[in-house]
Each structure stands twice: as structure tokens, then as C-alpha cells.
RNA sequence: GGCGACGUAGCCAAGUGGUCUAAGGCGGGGGUCUGCAAAACCCCUAUUCGGCGGUUCGAAUCCGCCCGUCGCCUCCA
């Protein structure tokens, strides 16, 4: 039985979906810039959650939003004199390419905020009607003190938050913690007609509108980074539960820990500070498997530091994984290796709030089992099958980053053949010299009883 | 200042009351195999879990204090 930690209750509990299909909403990116590895951590974590749910036999409906209307996109649009649609389209394409590069499964829906303006207006009006929101000068604010549970997700009282407020208080707000559902449009900004005049939505309302529309008034999982608990998700709870009168809106709030840029930096990655490693750069330098193994090597709720060196160490581990899946040359039908125990261990680890470090340990034990079986001349197809299946739950591709250069292939083959003749003639000095030179060029040779194998990378 | 996490080998990281003289990865050392390598396999690499006290028959795991680090407190995955 899968257990998940719910941020709202702070407790790890059995995962029981509300219906036949698991409904999962994951906070997606603001489209004002490229994604970084911190985003990748979050999306990989929820990709693994989805894959594991599907492995366990659930149907999963996975929705991830695109925020295409927000202060920063508007700023960018002004400074670059491009339309919001143009900018968001560019970053959506880049996002999808990078997700594919990381082997993250496509969500069932990628709703864009601007496509849900009518729903946001409906919810906003509904909250006004219930006395949970009030319009002022074309803005509409949520009235936090009218919502009794405000602060329950972030586990903070209104008093505590008011005391720590570090932003100048807008005098039109009834309470400093009241937040905008709708903002009156300023000059030269995108705007939509509403009962309160031309304007645009606040940031938080989009997720309420899209999740309620696409997943229903109550759904199973809502994911995102730890930094988005307050105010974003806190406000979403207030909006959604305030509007529908149903609680909880989300069965399991799941939040991943944040990624820092480096050990020495001691600061989380953020785009606005420029303190980040772009996902594109990471993908250019490393295989998807190495990046995924690195991101999954700590529990998803732990904060991490990005480390090239560490990813490189997982590059080697990923290479062992690939090698283990190469067919053994033992006659088929030999003694098969027992696999059931490994499968159970893997499931027990994943059931325990997605303990991916432990699940990875099972994978590495399986690799050893495969290699041992190969050495003994046993039939390892079953173990390899399990390794591939469980690795697949973690979204591993078993592909190396650098595809062997097709053009160079015949020349390498030629050198390897020449070297084989030299070895036969016991001309070892020359043979070794060829091997050394090839090694320096990035071609690794391996002499096996079946002949010499080589690979690039 | 308030709230919440965390501190385990050279590095990363699981484990949260007895099976822990602590998983797994990377790195390092030795061995088997090999013409020599590589890969693979085998063995070794924390009697100890930030420090000091306490609870308990028993603590890395619970409690208290201290030291250090991080996150949130309307930009944020």
C-alpha cells in the first residue's frame, strides 16, 4: 500500500484515491523564461509518482498548468516588444522538448491560464457573493479573515503572518494578508472584461480555476515545490474550498524539497536571481538517466545541492545499468535467477512515501545479480527484464547521451580488426598503442572471449 | 523576530527504539579473470550516527539544551 506524506496534515498516510482514476495536478512553470534543474527535480518527482501509480494499476489523470499571464511575462513582453502569446509559445515548446529529453511522460492536459479567464471570473464572483472577497477600485481581494482555515496548509496563523509581513500594506486591503483575485489593468497591459472592469487575474486563482474545471471540486494529489506552499497553495485552498464549500479540495498535498545551485552557494535556484543551471545546459552535458538518478538519489522532500561531480558519478552508474542490460551469451534455458525478492523490496521502498534512494539500491543489487549470473553462465533474461521494468518506473531510458557516431564506425572497426591481428601475432606493444590512442579519443575497448567490443563515450 | 526542516563514512545518501558492529552509489585499497588492460565478480574501506546531558533493559532513532546549515513569512518548482 502506497503511503504519501500530506503537507496539510503533516502525516504519512495510506494513499486512497477518491475515484477509479487518480486525479493529479502539478504546478507548472511561469512562462517568462527557461526552466532550470530545480524545476526538473519537481517534474521528475511527480513523473515518478505517476509512473509508480500506473505500475500499481491505477489510471492517472495528470494535469500540469502553464502560467502565461503574470507580472514577469508582462514585463518581458513590454521590454522585448513581443506579445505574451509569442513568449509563452516559445517557452512552452522549449519546455516540452526538455521534458522529453528527461523522459518525463506527457501530462494529459497542459491548460494555460489565459484559456480559463471566464472560470476565474465565475469563481471570483462566487467568492464575492459568499462574502469571501470584495472589489475595490477594479481590484478584487480575497478576505482572509472570513475564511476560518486560512493558514492551515502552511501551518501559520494570521497573527504570525501579519507580524512578519515584509511588504508595504496596500491601504485598500481590509487585512494586510488579503490577496488579489483580480487586478485592474494598468496601461498597455493585457486585459479582459470583467464585472469589475477591464483587468487580469491574480496569480493564485488560475490554479483553482483549472483544477476545479479539469479535475473536479475535490481531487487526489496536488504537487509542487516546497516554496510554493505559501502563499500560492495556501491561497488556492482558500479560494477553492471557499468557493465550493467542500473540504479538503486536495486529498494529498505533495511538496518536493528545493534544489540549491551549489554546495558553497547555499541558496536555492531561482530564475529571478539568475542563480540557476538551466535544464538545457544540464541536458547538453549529461544523459537523462544520470540526471534522473541524481535527482532521485535523495528523498524527494529533502533539500539538495546541484553538483556536476555527483551527476558524473551517476553517469558511471547509469553506464553499469546499460551494460547489465546487454544480452548475456549464456545458453538460454539455464538456471534462472530468483527475482521476486527484489521486486518486493522495490515496491516496499516506493510504497514508503516514494523512497527512491532505497528503490535505486534495489536496482543496483539487481545489476550485480545480472552480472554475477552472466559470469556463471546462467540465464539472466528474467532478472534483466525486472531490472528494465523497475528502472522504467523511475523513468530511466537505458540510453547513453552520445549516440555512437555512425560515420566513425567503420574506421573504428578497421582499427579493432588490425589490432586483433596484431594480438594474434603477439605484437602486444603495437596493439596496446592502438588501444591507448583510441581510449584517448573516447573509444573504450574491451577484449572478451567473444572478441573485442568497443563503445564511444 | 515568527514558523518549519535538517546535521550519518573521503563525497552523495537511506535507515527514525532491539534484526544497525548502519543500505546503496561514487571514490580508494587488495584479489580473481586477462598477454597486459578494460569490464565484471569477490573482499576491505563509519564499533559509529554535530556536541553535551537525560529517558529506557536497550537510542543514529525519543526528550532537553547548545553549535551549525537550509527553507518559508505575498518573485519562486
Dist CA A222 CA A220 (whole Å): 7
Q: How far is the CA of A349 from the C1' of B59 (A)?
A: 24
Q: How confident is the model at residue A139 (pLDDT cuts 50, 70, 90)?
A: very high
Cell of A435: 588501444
* C1'-nearest nucleotide to the CA of A40: B77
Mean pLDDT of A386-401: 95
A317-393 adopts what CATH topology?
Answer: 1.20.120
* Ranges A55-69, A284-298, A331-345, A380-394: which has the least confidence: A331-345
Q: What pLDDT is attached to residue A162?
A: 75
Mean pLDDT of A154-166: 76
Q: Name the residue closest to B1, CA to C1'.
A: A164
Q: What pLDDT is attached to residue A280?
A: 95
Handedness of CA A289, A291, A293, A296 (dihedral sign): negative
Domain A17-132+143-158+201-260 classification at class level: alpha beta
In DSSP terms, which residues pair with A4 in a beta bridge?
A: A13
Q: In the 263-322 stretch of chain A, whose C-beta falls under 7 Å of nucleic acid strand B?
A: 263, 266-273, 297-299, 302-305, 307, 309-310, 313-314, 316-317, 320
Q: Residue A39 phi/psi, 5° resolution? A: -60, -45
Q: What's the N-to-C CA distance of chain A in angstroms?
A: 41
Q: What pLDDT is attached to residue A333?
A: 59
Strand B lies under 7 A from the Cβ of residue A367: yes
pLDDT above 70 for A457: no
Nucleotides of chain B within 7 Å of a protein C-beta? 1-6, 11-15, 23-27, 34-42, 69-77
Q: How far is the CA of A361 from the C1' of B21 (A)?
A: 22
CA proximity to A223, closest of A4, A33, A23, A27: A27
Q: What pLDDT is attached to residue A442?
A: 85
Q: Name the residue closest to B42, CA to C1'.
A: A372
Mean pLDDT of A424-431: 94
Mean pLDDT of A167-190: 86
Strand B lies under 7 A from the Cβ of residue A431: yes
Q: How confident is the model at residue A239 (pLDDT cuts 50, 70, 90)?
A: very high
Q: How far is the CA of A365 from the C1' of B55 (A)?
A: 39
Q: How far is the CA of A313 from the C1' of B27 (A)?
A: 9
Q: How far is the CA of A384 from the C1' of B45 (A)?
A: 30
Q: What pLDDT is attached to residue A261?
A: 82
Write down the domain spans for chain A. Answer: 17-132+143-158+201-260, 317-393, 409-456
> Which residues, 6+ apart, have CB-to-CB distance to A309 below 8 Å?
none
Q: What pLDDT is attached to residue A165?
A: 59
- Topology alike, domains A17-132+143-158+201-260 and A317-393: no
Q: How far is the CA of A156 from the C1' of B4 (A)?
A: 10
In A344-394 the beta strands, taken as DSSP E runs, fall at none
Distances (CA, A) of A357 to A5, A195, A225, A298, A453: 16, 52, 19, 6, 32
Q: How confident is the model at residue A291 (pLDDT cuts 50, 70, 90)?
A: very high
Q: How confident is the model at residue A36 (pLDDT cuts 50, 70, 90)?
A: very high
β-pair type (A3-6, A11-14): antiparallel
* Ranges A170-174, A302-306, A369-373: which has the least confidence: A170-174
Strand B lies under 7 A from the Cβ of residue A435: yes
Strand B lies under 7 A from the Cβ of residue A246: no
Q: What pLDDT is attached to residue A393?
A: 98
pLDDT above 60 for A264: no
In DSSP terms, which residues pair with A270 in a beta bridge?
A: A275
Q: What pLDDT is attached to residue A188?
A: 82
Mean pLDDT of A45-51: 97
Q: What pLDDT is attached to residue A155?
A: 87
Q: What pLDDT is attached to residue A299?
A: 95
Q: What pLDDT is attached to residue A336?
A: 67
Q: How far is the CA of A180 from the C1' of B47 (A)?
A: 59
Dist CA A397 CA A392 (whole Å): 7
pLDDT above 60 for A237: yes
Q: Residue A434 phi/psi, 5° resolution? A: -60, -45
Amino acid at each position: 500500500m502506497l503511503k504519501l506524506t500530506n503537507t496539510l496534515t503533516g502525516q504519512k498516510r495510506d494513499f486512497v484515491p477518491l475515484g477509479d482514476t487518480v486525479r493529479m495536478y502539478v504546478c507548472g512553470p511561469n512562462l517568462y523564461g527557461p526552466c532550470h534543474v530545480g524545476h526538473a527535480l519537481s517534474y521528475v518527482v511527480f513523473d515518478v509518482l505517476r509512473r509508480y501509480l500506473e505500475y500499481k494499476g491505477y489510471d492517472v489523470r495528470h494535469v500540469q498548468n502553464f502560467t502565461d499571464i503574470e507580472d514577469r511575462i508582462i514585463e518581458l513582453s513590454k521590454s522585448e516588444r513581443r506579445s505574451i502569446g509569442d513568449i509563452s509559445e516559445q517557452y512552452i515548446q522549449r519546455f516540452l522538448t526538455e521534458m522529453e529529453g528527461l523522459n518525463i511522460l506527457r501530462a494529459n492536459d497542459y491548460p494555460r491560464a489565459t484559456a480559463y479567464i471566464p472560470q476565474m471570473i465565475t469563481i471570483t464572483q462566487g467568492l464575492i457573493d459568499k462574502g469571501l472577497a470584495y472589489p475595490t477600485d477594479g481590484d478584487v481581494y480575497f478576505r482572509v479573515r472570513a475564511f476560518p482555515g486560512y493558514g492551515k496548509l502552511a501551518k501559520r496563523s494570521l497573527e504570525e503572518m501579519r507580524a512578519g509581513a515584509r511588504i508595504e500594506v496596500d491601504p485598500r486591503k481590509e487585512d494586510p494578508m488579503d490577496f488579489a483575485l483580480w487586478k485592474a489593468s494598468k496601461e498597455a497591459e493585457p486585459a479582459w472584461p470583467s464585472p469589475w472592469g477591464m483587468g487580469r487575474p491574480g496569480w493564485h486563482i488560475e490554479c483553482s480555476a483549472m483544477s476545479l474545471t479539469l479535475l473536479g471540486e475535490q481531487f487526489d494529489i496536488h504537487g509542487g515545490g516546497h516554496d510554493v506552499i505559501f502563499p500560492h497553495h495556501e491561497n488556492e485552498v482558500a479560494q477553492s474550498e471557499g468557493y465550493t464549500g467542500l473540504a479538503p479540495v486536495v486529498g494529498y498535498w505533495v511538496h518536493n524539497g528545493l534544489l540549491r545551485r551549489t554546495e558553497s552557494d547555499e541558496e536555492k535556484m531561482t530564475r529571478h536571481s539568475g542563480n540557476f543551471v538551466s535544464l538545457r545546459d544540464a541536458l547538453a552535458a549529461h544523459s537523462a538517466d544520470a540526471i534522473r538518478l541524481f535527482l532521485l538519489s535523495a528523498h524527494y522532500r529533502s533539500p539538495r545541492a546541484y553538483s556536476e561531480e555527483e551527476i558524473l558519478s551517476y553517469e558511471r552508474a547509469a553506464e553499469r545499468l546499460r551494460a547489465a542490460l546487454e544480452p548475456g551469451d549464456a545458453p538460454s534455458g539455464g538456471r534462472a535467477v530468483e527475482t521476486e525478492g527484489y521486486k518486493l523490496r522495490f515496491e516496499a521502498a516506493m510504497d514508503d512515501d516514494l523512497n527512491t534512494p532505497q528503490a535505486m539500491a534495489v536496482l543496483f543489487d539487481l545489476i550485480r545479480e545480472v552480472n554475477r549470473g552472466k559470469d556463471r553462465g546462467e540465464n539472466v533474461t528474467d532478472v534483466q527484464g525486472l531490472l528494465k521494468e523497475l528502472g522504467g518506473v523511475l523513468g530511466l531510458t537505458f540510453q547513453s547521451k552520445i549516440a555512437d557516431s555512425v560515420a566513425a564506425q567503420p574506421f573504428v572497426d578497421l582499427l579493432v580488426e588490425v589490432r586483433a591481428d596484431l594480438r594474434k601475432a603477439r605484437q602486444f606493444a603495437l596493439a596496446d598503442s592502438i588501444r591507448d590512442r583510441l581510449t584517448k579519443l573516447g573509444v573504450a575497448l574491451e577484449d572478451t572471449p567473444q572478441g573485442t567490443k568497443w563503445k564511444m563515450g
